[in-house]
Amino acid sequence: MTYAPHDYQRYASNFIETHPASAILLACGLGKTIITLTAVHNLLFDSFEVRKVLVIAPLRVARDTWPAELTKWDHLALLRASVAVGSTVERISALERKADLYIINRENVQWLIKESALPFDFDMVVVDELSSFKNHRSKRFRALMKRRAVIKRIVGLTGTPASNGLIDLWAQFKLLDKGVRLGRFIGSYRDAYFTPDKRNGQVVFSYKPAPGAEERIYRAIEDITISMKAQDHIRMPALVSNEHRVTLGEDDRAAYERLRKDLVLDASGGQVTAANAASLSGKLLQLANGAVYTDDGKTIGIHDRKLDALEDLIEAANGQSVLVAYWFKHDLARIAGRLEKLGLAFSTLDTSESIRVWNTGGLPVGLIHPASAGHGLNLQGGGSFLIWFGLTWSLELYQQTVARLWRQGQKSETVVVQHIITGGTIDERIMKVLSGKAHTQDALIEAVKAELTGGNR
């Protein structure tokens, strides 16, 4: 296929080529993979500035998305790629193969650097979903930082750089510029831009930006950062977001309140105990969805309100394929049981084949877990209707999951996102929190947004 880039895509590719370190904050659907591959191609074969490139990506994106883009576009025909996923033997074989571009999943970064015994001789590294390196204590971050000095060019790609607030940015930009813009140490970054927020005596649990800090952070990183929202540059389908509310019965409401107040729920199937606030949050979210794990790992069914709502929404879709996002394993088991009773064909979208069948319209219902299918997968070919059966606290996973359908290439004029919300439960709190976090991230995107004029939009 012939590549006819939009002006913003040319701009972004050129930005990568002209900046040894770059942060490309592209909204989902803007084509970050083809933008980056075009820049890599030019750096390899036109300017000869690099010779060996490593791409680090989420597993399914590494396995499916990057190879698919390489074979899709005519101008990338010279690029030889080797995908290093799978068993240790398969990964080593792929990394020893002669190629220009090596693609590895992020879980194996530490293995590659510390355990594989292979030379780390990549002069360019592309980190797809840079936000997965936001934890400066993670093994993958520390391993890659040990090799940062030998990397001549580095590109960070993400659409969600600050899903949990601006504190997330330090590690990501330390990886890109070795601490030049936001400081070499996390403590210095906190002192310069943040003040303690939630604390217990001398113990600080969270930080909030100091007055004027957001603008100062944006100014510090803007010279190596561009950001773009899809709505600014391409005609996106309309996004319709709805809440489908369900109500607990009296007994179920009493069980929910008992667990919330006492951190313990005695039920016929066993006892459920929440040890702390984080555990309580998870238990309440499970109960809102309709089932909960006992202390010994069994599942107790509480109610079917969300399953009934899911059935109604699928029926209302009038034969359209529906994507359903779930969070807990018992959600998946209960959803699958209901779909089997309804006689509907369905599959989890966790293999290349299941994704292919979905995108060709062969699945009435596709089931995805945001943590494993939220990033990078192109699912817009299979439908335009997403139902959130169970919510996530993570803005990043939430936005990325929605963007599997609401993206460039979506044939429908409208993408509908339905949230099944159990009234008077933690579901309502999560929706408010996701909305609050989105404000901070949108401010970051807006502050460093590339200003392009004219051309294709």
Residue 443 has pLDDT above 70, yes or no: no
Residue 323 domain-assigned (yes or no): yes
Q: For 90-94, 169-173, 444-448, which range has the lowest pLDDT when averaged over its residues? A: 444-448
pLDDT-based confidence at 122, cuts 50/70/90? very high
In the chain, the number of structural domains is 2
Residue 110 domain-assigned (yes or no): yes
110 and 11 housed in the same domain:
yes
The whole-number average pLDDT for the span 279-303 is 87
Residue 429 domain-assigned (yes or no): no
The whole-number average pLDDT for the span 112-126 is 96
Residue 54 has pLDDT above 50, yes or no: yes
Residue 267 domain-assigned (yes or no): no
184 and 242 housed in the same domain:
no
CA count, 13 A, side-chain hemisphere, 41? 17
55 and 85 housed in the same domain:
yes
Which pLDDT does position 439 carry in this prediction?
Answer: 66
Which pLDDT does position 233 carry in this prediction?
Answer: 65
Distance in angstroms between the alpha carbons of the first and the last residue of the chain: 21
Closest CA to 320 of 357, 377, 365: 365
DSSP labels for 273-297? Answer: E--SHHHHHHHHHHHHHTEEE-TTS
Which pLDDT does position 230 carry in this prediction?
Answer: 63
Residue 431 domain-assigned (yes or no): no
Element (DSSP H or E) covering residue 339: helix 329-342
Q: 143 vs 21, 186, 190, CA distance in Å?
A: 18, 17, 23
In angstroms, the CA 386 to CA 203 distance is 41
87 and 51 housed in the same domain:
yes
The whole-number average pLDDT for the span 309-334 is 91
Number of H helices, E strands in the chain: 19, 21
Which pLDDT does position 375 carry in this prediction?
Answer: 57
CATH number, domain of 90, equals 3.40.50.10810
Strand extents, DSSP E, 296-349: 299-301, 322-325, 346-348
In angstroms, the CA 363 to CA 343 distance is 12
pTM, to two decimals: 0.66
385 and 360 housed in the same domain:
yes
75 and 217 housed in the same domain:
yes
Per the prediction, the chain carries an average pLDDT of: 87
Residue type, 147: R
The whole-number average pLDDT for the span 214-219 is 90
Q: Alpha helices of 6-117 — where are they, by DSSP H?
A: 7-18, 32-45, 59-60, 66-72, 88-96, 109-110
% pLDDT > 70, the chain: 90
Residue 450 domain-assigned (yes or no): no
SS3 string of 171-197? HHHHHHHCCCCCCCCHHHHHHHHEEEC
- Pairing relation of β-strands 153-158 and 21-26? parallel
186 and 240 housed in the same domain:
no
Can you name the residues that pair with 207 across neighbouring β-strands?
196
48 and 177 housed in the same domain:
yes
pLDDT-based confidence at 191, cuts 50/70/90? very high
CATH number, domain of 379, equals 3.40.50.300
Which pLDDT does position 373 carry in this prediction?
Answer: 65
339 and 397 housed in the same domain:
yes
Residue 283 domain-assigned (yes or no): no
In angstroms, the CA 446 to CA 457 distance is 17
239 and 202 housed in the same domain:
no
In angstroms, the CA 65 to CA 128 distance is 11
Domain with 356, as residue range(s), is 235-248+305-423
* pLDDT tens for each residue of 309-319: 999 899 878 78
Strand extents, DSSP E, 320-413: 322-325, 346-348, 365-368, 385-388
* pLDDT tens for each residue of 62-92: 888 899 889 889 999 999 999 999 999 999 9
201 and 240 housed in the same domain:
no
139 and 241 housed in the same domain:
no
Q: Give residue 135's region: left, alpha or beta (phi > 0; psi -120 to 50).
A: beta
Residue type, 146: K
Residue 119 domain-assigned (yes or no): yes
Which pLDDT does position 42 carry in this prediction?
Answer: 97
